[in-house]
Amino acid sequence: MKMFSPEIETLDRKTLRELQLERLKHTVRYAYENVPMYRRRFDEIGLKPEHIQTLKDIELIPYTTKDDLRDNYPFGLFAVPMKKIVRLHASSGTTGKPVVGGYTRADLDNWSTCIARILTMAGATDEDIFHVAFGYGLFTGGFGLHYGVEKLGATVVPVSSGNTDRQIMLLKDFGATALIATPSYAMYLAETARQKGVLDDLKLRLVCMGAEASTAEMHEALHKILGAFPTENYGLTEVGGPGVSGECREKAGMHINEDMYYCEVVDIPHNKVLGEGEQGEMVITTLVKEGMPILRYRTKDITSVTYEPCKCGRTTARMSRVVGRTDDMLIIRGVNVFPSQIESVLMGMDELGKTYEIVVDRVNYMDTIEVRVEVVDASLLTDYSQLEALVAKIKHNLRTVLQLDVKVKLVEPFSIKRAEGKVKRVIDLRK
Ligand code: DLL
């Protein structure tokens, strides 16, 4: 299996740990000396950079949260003068101020290395033609993946998001072999290509997805339609964007770029760093960032990590698919529900389309949850007995997974609005 940085990706764990410790010590001192917020935080609790002597000592450092980034908006956490910042990105943040990231030239170079590794582990080579359908702009997805493709030496088609018909035309005419998009948009493109009858004209062999949660069932469904191998990758603006981790062909978790990121999985309510395989919140420390080093960032993403070497030959830790964000978890009549649990049920049923939404409400002080999902064949909606049977089957499958009764509404194909970037599946009317 080809690797972009084999010397790092197959490093024995002891040496990797030593490298991480050396970089952690450097980052802690660097942040302490150059970012007033970190100095203040450390001073308040009498912590000094030299107290960090082992990787475990990282637990002495307080967490950084999204509020810290907002409080220091826009450039307060930068560790270098603006002159050294060559790029800014920001999250789309639907409420309040966005989260801003600043990159030095070296940061951009490391970033594209991370992406080139991830694309290589997905099976890409310098002969691929990448159609990048992530938005180009402040969002880290478009430019982030773009420069990674270039570093790999493959061809990049910077289409950006939107105008789906034109995307299909370009996919076809330029003979793209790899698609980069959010899972929901990749599915939209796939469904549209199918509807137009042009699936056979596409040369796609890879779909590299990220920026939002997806399920194994969604990957399978996409593989079936497009005939292209799906992988996903993970990252967030606060620590530099995509490039934290990505899936290899084994699809057995996302390999973390551990020479650049130190990842912990934490049980936040009990403030306890969890062990291998235990599920909790991902907390990330950057190990090589110059522009905006971040110590112990609470991502709110729920995952677990394994350190077993992978069949692909890489020794880097792998994080499991993100189950959901702590703030996306719905509590319905006391039961915790992640939208991904609902997705895994719906995607596994061939009668159903791949677009759905979840409406949560409160009626007479009782939480209600309704799943609206498209059918593949609209004629089913007029056949009452078939319709009833299918609704009953979906309800049953959802109940098995969620231990909860869910209302189900089947709707016509293409009747739910598609997203061109990150999809918003949950409409919570209780808020
Ligand atoms: O979404 C960075 C990115 C771009 C990652 C392109 C991968 C590909 P933000 O807009 O700051 O950055 O959103 C970060 O998106 O905390 C997760 O909740 C979610 N997310 C990102 N990748 C995944 C994934 C980019 N593979 C937030 N699975 C993160 C699940 C993901 N959630």
Of the chain, the percentage scoring pLDDT greater than 70 comes to 99
Stretch (H or E) spanning 22: helix 13-34
Q: Is 375 in the pocket of ligand 1 (CB under 6 A)?
A: no
How remote is the CA of residue 233 from the centroid of ligand 1, in Å? 8
Work out the pLDDT band at 96, boundaries 50, 70, 90: confident
What is the pLDDT, as a whole number, of residue 92?
75
Query: For 135-183, how does the pLDDT look when each residue is reduced to its tens digit (9 = 90+)?
Result: 999 999 999 999 999 999 999 999 999 999 999 999 999 999 999 999 9
Contact 98, 138 (CB under 8 A): yes
Q: pTM for this one?
A: 0.96
Q: Which residue in 233, 146, 145, 135 sits closest to 185, CA to CA? A: 135
How remote is the CA of residue 80 from the centroid of ligand 1, in Å? 26
What residue owns the CA closest to ligand 1's atom 27? 236
What sign has the CA pseudo-torsion 155, 160, 161, 167?
negative
Q: Which residue in 358, 343, 356 sits closest to 416, CA to CA? A: 356
How many whole angstroms separate alpha carbon 74 and alpha carbon 63?
19
pLDDT of 95 above 80: no
Work out the pLDDT band at 94, boundaries 50, 70, 90: low
266-272-276-280 Cα dihedral, nearest 10 degrees: -30
Averaged pLDDT for residues 342-348: 95
Residue 16 in tokens: 């990797």
How many whole angstroms separate alpha carbon 62 and alpha carbon 295?
8
Work out the pLDDT band at 402, boundaries 50, 70, 90: very high
Q: Please tell me the least confidently modeled range out of 77-81, 90-94, 225-229, 331-335.
A: 90-94
How many whole angstroms separate alpha carbon 190 and alpha carbon 172?
12
How many whole angstroms separate alpha carbon 244 and alpha carbon 111?
9
Measured between alpha carbons, how far apart are the two ends of the chain, in Å?
49
How many whole angstroms separate alpha carbon 211 and alpha carbon 235?
7
Work out the pLDDT band at 350, boundaries 50, 70, 90: very high
Residue 423 in tokens: 């999809």
Q: Is 91 in the pocket of ligand 1 (CB under 6 A)?
A: yes
Averaged pLDDT for residues 204-229: 97
Q: Strand ranges (DSSP E) for 82-185?
A: 87-90, 100-103, 129-132, 155-157, 178-181
Nearest atom, ligand 1, residue 213 CA:
30
How remote is the CA of residue 383 from the centroid of ligand 1, in Å? 40
Averaged pLDDT for residues 245-256: 98
How remote is the CA of residue 79 from the centroid of ligand 1, in Å? 24
Q: Is 325 in the pocket of ligand 1 (CB under 6 A)?
A: yes
How remote is the CA of residue 417 from the centroid of ligand 1, in Å? 21
Contact 131, 174 (CB under 8 A): yes
Return the best residue to mutate from 117, 236, 344 for the ligand 1 pocket (most ligand atoms within 8 A of CB). Answer: 236
How remote is the CA of residue 380 from the centroid of ligand 1, in Å? 36
Q: Is 241 in the pocket of ligand 1 (CB under 6 A)?
A: yes
Contact 357, 426 (CB under 8 A): yes
Q: Which residue in 250, 176, 252, 192 sits closest to 225, CA to CA? A: 192
Residue 196 in tokens: 């137009």
How many whole angstroms separate alpha carbon 185 and alpha carbon 418?
8
Residue 52 in tokens: 């960090």
Return the best residue to mutate from 145, 301, 304, 420 for the ligand 1 pocket (most ligand atoms within 8 A of CB). Answer: 301
Residue 405 in tokens: 């009764």
What sign has the CA pseudo-torsion 78, 82, 87, 92?
positive
Mean pLDDT of the chain: 96
Query: For 304-328, how does the pLDDT look when each residue is reduced to its tens digit (9 = 90+)?
Result: 999 999 999 999 999 999 999 998 9
How remote is the CA of residue 409 from the centroid of ligand 1, in Å? 29
Between CA 150 and CA 160, with CA 154 as vertex, the angle to 5 degrees is 65
How many whole angstroms separate alpha carbon 293 and alpha carbon 289?
5
How remote is the CA of residue 391 from the centroid of ligand 1, in Å? 32
How many whole angstroms separate alpha carbon 68 and alpha carbon 317?
28
Query: Omega into 293 within 30° of 0, i.e. cis?
Result: no
Residue 213 in tokens: 């949660």
What is the pLDDT, as a whole number, of residue 93?
66
Query: For 103-127, how does the pLDDT look when each residue is reduced to its tens digit (9 = 90+)?
Result: 999 999 999 999 999 999 999 999 9
How many whole angstroms separate alpha carbon 116 and alpha carbon 145?
8
Averaged pLDDT for residues 256-278: 97
Query: For 22-72, how does the pLDDT look when each residue is reduced to its tens digit (9 = 90+)?
Result: 999 999 999 999 999 999 999 999 999 999 999 999 999 999 999 999 999
